[in-house]
Structure 1
Amino acid sequence: MAHDFPPLKNDLLLRAARGEKTERAPVWIMRQAGRYLPEFRELRKSHEFFEICRTPDLATEITLQPIRRFSGLIDASIIFSDILVIPQALGMEVLMNPGPQFPEPLDTPADIEKLNKVVDIDKELGYVFRAITQTRIALAGEVPLIGFCGAPWTLFAYMIEGGGSKFFQKVKTWIFKYPEESKTLLMRIADVCVDFLVGQVKAGAQMLQVFDSWAGELSPHDFDLFSLPTLVHISTNVRKRLAAENLPTQATTTLGLDWQIDPAEARRLTKGKVALQGNMDPNVLYGGRDAIESAVKRISQAWIANLGHGITPGVDPEDVRWFFECMRKYSVQA
């Protein structure tokens, strides 16, 4: 479906993601629309979390909240949703109490039969697409809109653990005890991710991110076996689908870094072939303005400045503002 969206006024993020030289580093933060904002908490008092995700008007409003608050300081918006909408589309119940809980996680490979064998992406996740379209219009071209999904390994871990985990015992039992069944389910999740991401571009997303939050729980060997093939599958097939349907696509990749690797080392390892994003420890935002300013100086030469993980609920929005202001002060040509 074609949409007549307002022209984009700030394309800094998109240019940086393509590896172009930019006048400064663009900046946004993961989970920038969410729990640290008082306006989000106020709205949340009268609406359940997944109700917000499934209500385009509410998802649009929350996506816009940080753009309004930090107007002129922030270079991207990201649609308000959750990575666990894909397990829901596969037929699993997910609650938010306050973190994610699966009342009936997958205990053995036999439980895979409980999942939907076919996922009608428009029927199951059309609310995300409608929110993206509404948000693109409401942004009036101020900044680009990012769409996203969870990586198959991370979603697989939630579906088996039944929520967050310290030790990942259940999911690692699966990959070591049932490796082939695990790979099959991981690729099945990846196929849903492809459909979901393509649908987001059709709806108006201008950039896509895949969040592999639990990738660090795998050894390099196991990452290559269980996560990397699904990420390659998603990247390859999303691009093929977009090209086949004459939809906007750029054959570029941006790699998000956490705070445990230096950007210079990441550049060396990737030989400068991909744009980098990250990688400030989110907890620096609790350290006061001097600590924030010092950290910004270290990351301001990244192609895309961001946190190394999502912002946490207790951060003062005014310290976030200071982070953005420091980025404007210290960012230089990438």
Structure 2
Amino acid sequence: MSESDPLLLRAARGESVERPPVWMMRQAGRYMKVYRELRDRHPSFRERSENPELSYEISMQPFEAFQPDGVILFSDILTPLPGMGIEFDIVESKGPLIQDPIKTLDQIKNLRPLEPQQSMSFVGEVLGRLRNSVGNKAAVLGFVGAPWTLAAYVVEGKSSKNYAVIKAMAFQEPELLHKLLDHFAKSIATYLRYQIDSGAQVVQMFDSWAGQLSPIDYDTFAAPYQKKVVELLKETHPDTPVILYISGSAGVIERMGNTGVDIVSLDWTVDMADGCRRLPKHIGIQGNVDPGLLFGTPEAIRSRIVDAVLKAKGRKHILNLGHGILPGTPEENAKVFFEAGKGVNDLIRAVT
């Protein structure tokens, strides 16, 4: 621990900090003109995320524009799948497509253990470059998809509105699904270790679709595998803070706090004060400004940031949106968000 460590890393560890650090989920992406211009030159998402030069450039775009306290790897939660033998593509405006959705025990048995050094060396290269570039001015964040969400994609074959296919597997062939989830948990832990060894200082696990589960099914199909990822990771990297994010998590917040993660990221449908009350004091909070607010006025953005920070006062808190920044968000409003986050102490003094 050192005062020279990045603010976000110190806050995530639970150290006393001068203000909550601030970054945004999806802070590198479609709302930025410089990103859209690069996308026009390189229309394949997989090229943008798997070519280390492009991934590095995109990861740095928001840092160069706004100086957030965290710089997150530009990648995708599905990036490790080919290393396990599952091919995918991401089609603009349609999302991920799995070429051969998993339906059988034989398919699961044929999955390969993930060896990220071999199948995803580009990730390690980008994280190392990011760490060298930002130094202690920002923390480098890595991320993964959680087992349930990865399973939802590879069983459904694409994004879904009702998750009927994977839920049919869960309720008709639970043993089959548990084998798949266990494989993903081990692979994701291995991938996180690789990210940290390559330069990531804080990591976030996205279980984007776990909010589609009832609490009893979350306890069966999501939480045990989130917990397994964390336990395996902490065996080798006990000091790296882990954040867990679930979209639509209001019904399972307490359960998220029982998975072993250091920080729970709240979406915007949860009141910050309520979320803090529902989690033990040692669990940190991330979030949770509504991304839609960034289509509003600068005054509205500043006011909501003050509200979130005041309600989280006394807690380990990382200021963020309650989900990813939306395409079409005015870049000047993203700038307001970051500037207000960094100047939140002055804003609070002005209203109290």
* TM-score for the superposition, normalised by structure 1: 0.90
1:321 aligns with 2:335: yes
Tell me the equivalent position of 1:261: 270
> Alignment partner of 2:141: what SS?
strand
Tell me the equivalent position of 2:87: 93
Contact 1:55 1:127 (C-alpha < 8 Å) held by counterparts: yes
1:287 aligns with 2:296: yes
Per-residue displacement from partner, 1:40-92 (whole Å, max 9, x unpaired)? 11111222211122211211111111000013xx2111011110012222212
Name the CA shift for 1:142/1:208 in 2 (closer, same or farther; >3 Å).
same
Tell me the equivalent position of 2:318: 304
Greater displacement, 136-145 / 151-160: 136-145
Distance between the aligned counterparts of 1:129 and 1:178, measured in 2? 37
1:272 aligns with 2:244: no
> Alignment partner of 2:273: what SS?
helix
Identity %: 38
Per-residue displacement from partner, 1:289-324 (whole Å, max 9, x unpaired)? 233223212212341110111112111111101112
Task: Figure out how many residues of one structure are paired with residues of the other and give that number.
Answer: 320
Contact 1:8 1:143 (C-alpha < 8 Å) held by counterparts: no
Distance between the aligned counterparts of 1:129 and 1:260, measured in 2? 35
* TM-score for the superposition, normalised by structure 2: 0.85
Contact 2:203 2:241 (C-alpha < 8 Å) held by counterparts: no
Tell me the equivalent position of 1:82: 76
Contact 1:281 1:308 (C-alpha < 8 Å) held by counterparts: yes
Distance between the aligned counterparts of 1:157 and 1:269, measured in 2? 28
Contact 1:8 1:142 (C-alpha < 8 Å) held by counterparts: no
Distance between the aligned counterparts of 1:147 and 1:131, measured in 2? 10
Amino acid at match of 1:66: P
Contact 1:147 1:200 (C-alpha < 8 Å) held by counterparts: yes
Amino acid at match of 1:189: F
Distance between the aligned counterparts of 1:320 and 1:19, measured in 2? 27
Name the CA shift for 1:111/1:250 in 2 (closer, same or farther; >3 Å).
closer
Distance between the aligned counterparts of 1:163 and 1:189, measured in 2? 17
Aligned match for 1:196, one of 191, 194, 204: 191
Contact 2:113 2:187 (C-alpha < 8 Å) held by counterparts: no
Report how far residue 108 of structure 1 moved. Answer: 4.1
Report how far residue 250 of structure 1 moved. Answer: 5.7
Name the CA shift for 1:282/1:109 in 2 (closer, same or farther; >3 Å).
farther
Tell me the equivalent position of 2:153: 158
Report how far residue 249 of structure 1 moved. Answer: 3.8
Greater displacement, 134-143 / 303-312: 134-143
Name the CA shift for 1:10/1:76 in 2 (closer, same or farther; >3 Å).
farther
Per-residue displacement from partner, 1:77-116 (whole Å, max 9, x unpaired)? 1011110012222212211111211132223444324x43
Name the CA shift for 1:271/1:140 in 2 (closer, same or farther; >3 Å).
closer
Q: How do 1:54-133 residues align onto structure 2 when only pairs under 5 Å count?
A: 54-71=50-67, 74-98=68-92, 99-113=95-109, 115-133=110-128
Kindly report the root-mean-square deviation, in angstroms, between the aligned alpha carbons of the 2 structures. 2.0
Greater displacement, 100-109 / 49-58: 100-109
Aligned match for 2:175, one of 166, 180, 197: 180
Per-residue displacement from partner, 1:211-263 (whole Å, max 9, x unpaired)? 111111001110010111111111111010236xxxx6469701111112222
Distance between the aligned counterparts of 1:157 and 1:298, measured in 2? 35
Aligned match for 2:7, one of 1, 5, 12: 12
Name the CA shift for 1:206/1:309 in 2 (closer, same or farther; >3 Å).
same
Contact 2:142 2:201 (C-alpha < 8 Å) held by counterparts: yes
Uncovered stretches (5+) of structure 1, i.e. residues with no partner: 1-6
Amino acid at match of 1:283: G
Name the CA shift for 1:281/1:128 in 2 (closer, same or farther; >3 Å).
same
Report how far residue 272 of structure 1 moved. Answer: 0.9
Distance between the aligned counterparts of 2:235 and 2:5, measured in 1? 27
> Alignment partner of 1:148: what SS?
strand
Report how far residue 271 of structure 1 moved. Answer: 2.2
Tell me the equivalent position of 2:255: none
Tell me the equivalent position of 2:30: 35
> Alignment partner of 2:237: what SS?
helix
Aligned match for 2:132, one of 131, 134, 137: 137
Per-residue displacement from partner, 1:257-281 (whole Å, max 9, x unpaired)? 1112222222222221211001112
Distance between the aligned counterparts of 1:109 and 1:36, measured in 2? 41
Contact 1:83 1:150 (C-alpha < 8 Å) held by counterparts: yes
> Alignment partner of 1:183: what SS?
helix
Q: Name which structure has the greater RCO, CA cutoff 8 Å, separation 6+.
A: 1
